[in-house]
């Protein structure tokens, strides 16, 4: 059987991404034929490894193993003036102060090349695996960056989400941060969970494996070293709220 690996919400969390990629390689060695990776956005955001995450993904892109789209925080970076000398524009974005400070840090750490990498990313993912057409987006089909898809809803809810892209067999979305695998009369809705942005206190980096023929979906969880990230947050002078988010999924 052949699979695709689907990841989302890295949020500049390199240790979590590294563990997820390591687990994918282990699965390959165990006999899983993983054809490619999809990454559904928020590759950068709150945590202090934005440039390192870009470098890791760039290597995969060069090897034609990954397709990446923008998420909500990526879009903030992408909208900055390419000739801007600083991230002052972020003050105008409607986020809490600690998120603005983290995004300013991200803007600066990325440098010009990193910001151009983000700007070059598409907003939507359109692809075909096996006989199945795939549509991917960070938020929802009608609101790609701020749309929300909730977990644990009735089938009618996911049918409404899926209806605008009903010509596709599967909709991939990153917005819940929780795993979703819902079958509707139009097709399947899948959220792979979150790699780097904790969805709760006991968060483990979570991604999805999807069989390209049957669309059967399984979720894989891996542990990562949060203490390492906490120490980096402190060294870089990022807000205390980022540490709270790391351990509790919220401030």
pLDDT at residue 22 greater than cutoff 90: yes
Residue 172, beta-bridge partner list: 136, 190
Q: Is 224 exposed, middle or buried (0-12, 13-18, 19+ CB in 10 A)?
A: buried
Average pLDDT, stretch 121-143? 96
Average pLDDT, stretch 172-193? 96
pLDDT at residue 132 greater than cutoff 80: yes
Average pLDDT, stretch 5-22? 97
Q: In this structure, are strands 170-173 and 132-137 parallel, antiparallel, or unpaired?
A: parallel
Q: What are the structural domains of the chain?
A: 2-123+193-248 (3.60.21.10)
Percentage of the chain lying above the pLDDT 90 cut: 90
**Beta carbons of 48 and 247 less than 8 angstroms apart:** no
Q: What is the pLDDT at residue 119?
A: 96
Q: What is the pLDDT at residue 60?
A: 85
Q: What is the pLDDT at residue 120?
A: 95
Buried b (16+ CB within 10 A) or exposed e, 116-128: ebbeebebebeee
Structure-block tokens of residue 156 = 């009618």
Average pLDDT, stretch 221-230? 97
Taking the model in full, what pTM does it have? 0.96
Average pLDDT, stretch 135-145? 97
Output the CA–CA distances (angstroms, integers) from residue 173 to 110, 123, 179, 194, 248, in the order listed.
25, 12, 10, 11, 23
pLDDT at residue 58 greater than cutoff 90: no
At 98, is the secondary structure helix, strand, or coil? Answer: helix
Q: 80-112 pLDDT, tens per residue? A: 988 888 999 999 999 999 999 999 999 999 999
Question: Over the chain, what is the mean pLDDT?
Answer: 95
């Amino acid at each position: 059987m052949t699979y695709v690996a689907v990841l989302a919400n890295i949020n500049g969390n390199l240790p979590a991404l590294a563990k997820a990629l390591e687990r994918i390689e282990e699965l390959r060695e165990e006999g899983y034929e993983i054809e490619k990776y999809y990454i559904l956005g928020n590759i950068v955001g709150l945590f202090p490894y934005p440039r390192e995450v870009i470098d890791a993904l760039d290597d995969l892109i060069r090897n034609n193993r990954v397709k990446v789209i923008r998420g909500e925080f990526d879009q903030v970076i992408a909208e900055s003036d390419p000739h801007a000398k600083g991230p002052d524009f972020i003050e105008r974005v409607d986020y809490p102060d600690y998120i603005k400070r983290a995004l300013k840090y991200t803007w600066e750490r990325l440098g010009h090349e990193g910001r151009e990498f983000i700007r070059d990313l598409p907003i939507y993912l359109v692809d075909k695996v096996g006989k199945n057409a795939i549509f991917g987006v960070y938020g929802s089909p009608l609101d790609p960056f701020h749309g929300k898809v909730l977990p644990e809803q009735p089938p009618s809810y996911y049918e409404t989400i899926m209806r605008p892209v009903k010509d596709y067999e599967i909709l991939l979305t990153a917005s819940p941060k929780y795993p979703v695998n819902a079958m509707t009369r139009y097709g399947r809705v899948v959220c792979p969970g979150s790699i780097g942005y904790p969805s709760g206190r006991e968060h483990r980096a979570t991604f999805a494996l999807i069989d390209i023929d049957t669309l059967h979906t399984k979720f894989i969880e891996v542990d990562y070293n949060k203490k390492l990230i906490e120490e980096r947050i402190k060294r870089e002078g990022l807000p205390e709220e980022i540490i709270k988010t790391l351990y509790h999924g919220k401030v």
